[in-house]
Structure 1
């Protein structure tokens, strides 16, 4: 092989390797959002589904929904469900509330991550509206009631694991987030109801 041919071959090989590296890096960066999208579409890993309309079919079969609340490290809010559990029918449009309170002397912004357990329920637990879809801002001493409307898809009875479920746990974890510009004194975020005043710290 003469020198010019060898040089061209080496250049082509280097270009191919560079392309592979770029593709691998692109795949790595895309993996997280694609995995998140996959979970939201399929309910994999206990990620709940989201619908724009309420359920149109209600069955007599009932299931217990338990509500759980926690706070990420460094989040100073008090946060709990209004009720610990409720019994609903499959397909029934239900409404639950979570209560948050900011006991500090400064406005704090937060967002809630969520999932359901067991994982088999993720593909059938459907949220229509939820406080977790938006960032929430609580002023000093502010307490809010935050709604979540949902239903359990009757198609859960067609699932080998789902039809055996007697209860589902909906869990939220609130994390502190950067305060949106101009919101330090803007009051309560959309989708919540403030009870005002300077209430005592919530009991867990």
Structure 2
């Protein structure tokens, strides 16, 4: 006796299965897109954190206080100042270099002058070279990443308080190091049109 043939699935059940599959695919795609968007937003702070912790790319460290010891080894720290296109400022270090002991806290000044006949705004970024020294160059106080609003013709002195960490002496890769360059670049800050209008 031959087995009875199975009834063909109804059109409704086939449509239901297809719909469930399509919903599953749509949910998976939505979750993937959400994950990618979240990763994109997290990438900048994570990269910033990584650079600050490791000194990658010449990113300097931030310190709240001076180190506990000062070593006799000396390093020359040179100072560099740059202005990005579109910012009518003169920006320069008040001294081009200093010789410091490892662990010694030093204060130096940069001078900035607004050469425009209008108020202008800028923000400075920084790094050190060689880039491998970023993990050992610590700043206690700095004007970097703080918006500087300058009146027409205004001149301002801005302090940088720093030290070179004594831990550098224990890094065999830095045995021949005798010079570190601290470099700043000021960029124009783009203000919203509403802020410009309210200030005029």
Q: TM-score range by the shorter chain?
A: 0.7 to 0.9
Larger radius of gyration: 2
Q: How many residues align?
A: 185
Alignment of structure 1 residues 90-169 onto 2, 5 Å:
90-169=102-181
Return the alpha-carbon distance in structure 1 between the equivalents of residues 160 and 109 of structure 2: 6
| Residues 125 and 145 in structure 2, CA contact (< 8 A), matched pair in contact too | no
Gaps of 5+ in 1: 185-204
Q: Is the 8 A contact 1:120 1:161 kept in 2?
A: no
1:57 matched to which residue of 2?
Answer: 69
**How does the TM-score come out when normalised to structure 1?**
0.83
* 140-149 or 1-10: bigger deviation: 1-10
Per-residue Cα deviation, 1:29-70 (whole angstroms, up to 9, x for no partner) = 221222112112221110000111122210000001010000
Name the counterpart of 2:3.
none
Structure with more helix by fraction: 2
Structure 2: gaps of 5 or more residues: 1-8
- The aligned counterpart of 1:196 is none
User: CA RMSD, aligned part only?
Assistant: 2.2
Displacement of 1:6 in angstroms is 3.0
TM-score, scaled to structure 2: 0.85
1:115 alignment partner, SS class: strand
- Deviation >6 Å, runs of 4+: none
Q: Counterparts of 1:52 and 1:99 in 2: how far apart (Å)?
A: 24
